[in-house]
Amino acid sequence: MPPSSDGTDAARQILVGGVGLPWLRDLDYGTQFIKRVTDLDLDWPSNVVIEDLSYSAHRVLHLLQELRPAKVVFVGAMPRDVDPPGTIRRYKLDLTPPPDQEVIDRLGEAVGGIIDLDHTLAIIRYWKALPEDTVVIEVEPSDRSFGLGFSNEVEATVEPVLAMVREEVGLTAEEVTTG
């Protein structure tokens, strides 16, 4: 969804971005979540940009530098292996840039095709491309195998995550539930 052309102040834009690893079931959460949200044709405030960010981290960096949103909400799945599959974690992102060597390593991996939430967040934090108001909503995956579709545990998170995203962009509880 392109930026609003209705005169909305770009400094007030909110970017909702999904990051997923295509073709790897639950790890493709961000990609598939954004596709589902787009297919639902929900009403969103005019300053909200919905975007699949499942591509190389440096390209996400360039998009953020172009849009300069006031708020960013990332959605994805990241295996932390500390919570049961299907656990939803919602947190304000610590914007402290990672060490130089970590960024060098992650850029090399990104060029090699690695796409995941941690790589993307490391690169864009390093170049300070995020607004202070950056939130991550991530799901603990279950099935990390090749294929399409989510495990039952992860499928059950789609509606609650959608409600969280809609709250993050400023929709009221009634607007969130009625969509």
Domains and their CATH numbers in the chain = 10-178 (3.40.50.1450)
Determine the 3-state secondary structure of 109 from DSSP.
helix
Summarize pLDDT for 70-129 with one digit per residue, the tens. Answer: 999 999 999 999 999 999 999 999 999 999 999 999 988 888 888 999 999 999 999 999
Over residues 108-118, the pLDDT tens digits come to 888 888 899 99
Parallel, antiparallel, or unpaired: how do β-strands 88-92 and 14-19 relate?
unpaired
For residue 157, the 8-state DSSP code is: T
User: Could you tell me the two tokens for 93?
Assistant: 């992102």
Q: What is the pLDDT of residue 84?
A: 98
| Distance, CA of 144 to CA of 43 (rounded, Å) | 32
pTM above 0.75, yes or no: yes
Amino acid type, 54: S
